[in-house]
Structure 1
Amino acid sequence: MTPATERRLLQAVAALACLVPLTVGGESVLRGVVYLKGAPIPVPPDLDSHFRYVSGIFLGLGFGFAYAIPAIERRTAIFRMLGLMVVLGGLARLLSLVEVGVPSNGHLFGLCMELGVVPMLMLWQTRVARISGLGSGPLR
C-alpha cells in the first residue's frame, strides 16, 4: 500500500469513528439525561446539567477529530491529545463497570471504542505521520 493510500484509508476510518461523538454527543446535548435508558423521571436538574455538559465535551471531541482529518499526517499532537482524552474517559467508564456493574450495549460499544479503536487509530496516525516524513510535528 502506498503512503498516500494508507493516509486516505486512515482518514476514512477516522471520519467513520468521528460519527460516534458527533451523533451521540449532539443527541445527548439536545435531549439531556432522558436520552439514557432508565433515566429517573423527573430528572434531577444537577444530573441533567452535568450530563449535558459532559455531552458537550464529547461533541467537541468529535469536532476536534474532524478538524484533524484533512491534514491527519500533520496533526499528530492534536490527534494524540484528543485520543488521550477519549482513553481517560474509557478508563473512567471501565471503573464504573467494575464498581457499579455492566452497562447497556451502547455503553459497552463506547468502551470498546475508547479503549480499543481510538488507541489503534492513534498508533496508525503516528505511523502515517512517520511514513509521510513528518514525525510528530507541531500542534496545528
Structure 2
Amino acid sequence: MSARSKARKRALDMLFQADVRHESITAIVGAEARRAAGEPDREASWLYAREIVDGVTDHRDEIDELIMSYAQGWTLERMPNVDRALLRLAAWEILFNDEVPTAVAIDEAVELAKEYSTEDSSRFVNGVLGRIADHAQA
C-alpha cells in the first residue's frame, strides 16, 4: 500500500472519529500527531493525512454544499458516517489538490467504501464524486 493510500485511510479515520464522537477535529488531529511522533516510519503517511484533514476542515462548507447538490435524494445526515467522510476526503482531493489525478481520488475513495462501508456505498460514492469531478472540470 502506498504512503498516500495509507494517508487516506488515516484521514478517513480522523474525519470519521470526529463525526461519530462529536469531538473537535483539532483534538483528534492532536491525538494522532502524538501517536505519529512515536512511529517515525509512518511520517510520510501522517503528513499527507494531516494535509487532507486540514484541507477538508478549511473547505468544509464548500465541499458539503457540493456533496448535497450531487447526492440526489440524500442529506448529509442521512448518509452513513463513513460515506460522508469519504466524500469529503475525496472531494477535497478533486477540488483542491492538483497533485492527485481525479481518477485516483475517486478510485481510492471507492476502494475504501468497499472495505469500510455498506454494500451499496461504493456505487454511491463513485456517482457523487463523478458529478463533483464534472463540476470541477466545468
TM-score by length of 2: 0.31
User: 1 or 2 for the larger relative contact order (CA 8 Å, sep ≥6)?
Assistant: 1
TM-score by length of 1: 0.31
